[in-house]
Chain A
Amino acid sequence: MTIAVTNIRVEDKLYQNRYVVDSGRPHIKVRPHQSPSVNLYALTSVCPAKCYELNDQGQVEITTDGCMECGTCRVLCEASGEIEWNYPKGGFGVLFKFG
């Protein structure tokens, strides 16, 4: 039997999904910081859409385009005030075909 091993790149997984992106109005923002807390840094691995990445200065940045609105980052970082979390405007964001 041939075994299909799926490519592990998250980008390829997200490519399957349908999104309506609200350009220029990200629903989640990372507040300016010198160095990230343990939880904010963890999001670079834990975010299931890999929205969070470390930049050259060692700060965490977010690109919300592939966000599946799960809320993991909110649960981890909202209390510390490091991120500002909102839902996308009605009708925008991820649209699950199967869910």
Chain B
Amino acid sequence: MTEEKFDAIVIGAGMSGNAAAYTMASRGLKVLQLERGEYAGSKNVQGAIMYANMLEKIIPDFRDDAPLERHLIEQRFWMMDDTSHTGMQYRSDDFNETNPNRYTIIRAQFDKWFSRKVREAGTTLLCETTVTELAHDTEGKVIGVRTDRAGDVILADVVVLAEGVNGLLGTRAGLRQTPKPETVALAVKEMHFLAEEVIDQRFGLKANEGCVIEAAGTISRNMAGLAFLYTNKESISIGIGCLVSEFAATMESPYDLLENFKNHPSVRPLIAGSEVKEYAAHLIPEGGYKAIPPLFGNGWVVVGDAAQLNNAVHREGSNLAMTSGRIAGEAIVQIKNRGKPMIKENLALYKSMLEKSFVIKDLRKYKDMPALLHTNSRNFFTTYPKLLSQAAQNFMRVDSTPKIEKERATTAAFIKARSRWGLVSDAVRFAFAWR
């Protein structure tokens, strides 16, 4: 191995690494992929929802054999207080289309499949191999990697850092900083197994149809956070995540939060009688556009979570990862085909191509949202959900109170909790961050 040189080394076999390796190998490049887990997917954690369009651009006929759980026909958003939820629900038979738009997946299984495609395309995959450092030439260009296996530097023209949110290599090499506690969320998740028919019945589903519930409110105990419940074929992925900075400030335990969510009267009946088979934890990049580190340099590019490419507002991560991996791969192939070296000036092509895609456009759109939610978490995650619940209950309970008094009571409750100025200011700030 030490004598041969690769066109590219990809570090990591997650969504972005697989997308990059597949793109390059299928276009004839000699690619080595290094993965520290026993198999691709063994270290990877996601909710998980997979967006078909982004994978179609890499493997158009993926539906033929990819391990997909359910295609989503229904989405619920819940604002929760301690005993209730106020919800928005969208369900459409249009999502029962020939080529559905979104699927739930189980990452360990999906990544194994994706990895097989990557190897079939010609990539050499080496698992159980932790890359310990990047190797540089005397001018500082990245020329390869060192691993925890015996042997010298493995050489390549370019290294694709697809090492995930908690990637050590890029930070140790000074290419970017360790994520800050306020730019990453810690999420915990459990896999609850139930018979397929039970899931169908509880959510009103049939034949591989799936439902997603995403929930915010008092369940995150004043922290900026989100809980989720995704239906898989024979299991339910259930989890909750909040910013690490807020966990540290409140000393809340993530598993307490998850238990609390599971025992909420709106959630408990949905998972009753299930068998738990796994408990996982993972960080999610939440810093958005402003947290994106330098994306390329001499002999390297960074993709996916390692580059903080995650849209927290729309809860999209793996599609940005896949897309950034694909685009990095395409840029490298173009540079290679022109016979140019993998130096900074040429690899800038990756960034300019990424800026033309939805990845950077979407993140730029919401560049002010992370800061807003972070500084205003108590209002958005506790005060408003409680007020909404009171307003809904007030509206629905039929008693002898005249309606005009009910409306006044609801308005008064909002003003008392946030003041007129506070309400207007929250609305304006939210609108500006959203536009």
Contacts and interface: CB of A to CB of B under 8 A. Distances in A.
A6 B42 contact: no
B186 A91 contact: no
Contacts of B272: 1-4
Given A71-B166, A90-B36, A97-B278, A42 B247 contact: yes
B157 interface: no
Contact of A70 (B186, B259, B263, B269): B186
A17 to B, nearest CB: 6
B184 A68 contact: no
A99 B166 contact: no
Given A70-B166, A70-B282, A13 B178 contact: no
A52 B186 CA distance: 16
Contacts of B190: 13
B181 A76 contact: yes
Contacts, number: 157
B62 interface: no
Contacts of B149: 90
Interface string A85-99: 111111101111111
Interface string B29-48: 00000001110011111101
Contacts of A10: 255
B333 interface: no
A41 B113 CA distance: 41
B45 A99 contact: yes
- Looking at A5, A50, A96, the one whose CB has the most chain B CB atoms below 10 A away is A96
B166 A45 contact: no
Contacts of A69: 43, 166
Interface residues on A, range: 35 or more
Interface string A41-73: 010011011100000000000000000111110
Interface string B242-258: 00100111011111100
Given A87-B36, A90-B36, A99 B252 contact: no
Contact of B165 (A8, A46, A71, A90): A71
User: Looking at chain A's contact residues, is the secondary structure mostly helix, strand, loop, or mixed?
Assistant: loop
B278 A76 contact: no
Interface residues on B, range: 35 or more
B107 to A, nearest CB: 4
Contacts of A86: 168
Interface string B170-211: 000000001111001010101100000000000000000000
Given A72-B283, A75-B283, A86-B168, A97 B128 contact: no
A74 interface: yes
Contacts of A97: 108, 277-278
A74 B251 CA distance: 16
A12 to B, nearest CB: 9
Interface of B: 36-38, 41-46, 48, 106-109, 111, 127-130, 147-149, 165-166, 168, 178-181, 184, 186, 188, 190-191, 235, 244, 247-249, 251-256, 259, 262-263, 268-269, 272-274, 276-283
Given A6-B276, A68-B280, 13 more contacts: A10-B255, A16-B277, A17-B279, A75-B184, A76-B244, A87-B130, A87-B168, A88-B36, A90-B127, A96-B42, A98-B107, A99-B42, A99-B107
6 contacts: A46-B247, A46-B252, A70-B283, A96-B107, A96-B280, A99-B106
Report, nearest first, the 10 A-B pairs whose CB atoms are least far apart. Answer: A91-B128, A71-B166, A99-B107, A48-B281, A13-B279, A90-B128, A70-B281, A99-B108, A42-B248, A90-B130
Interface of A: 1-6, 8, 10, 13-14, 16-17, 20, 38-39, 42, 45-46, 48-50, 68-72, 74-76, 78-79, 85-91, 93-99
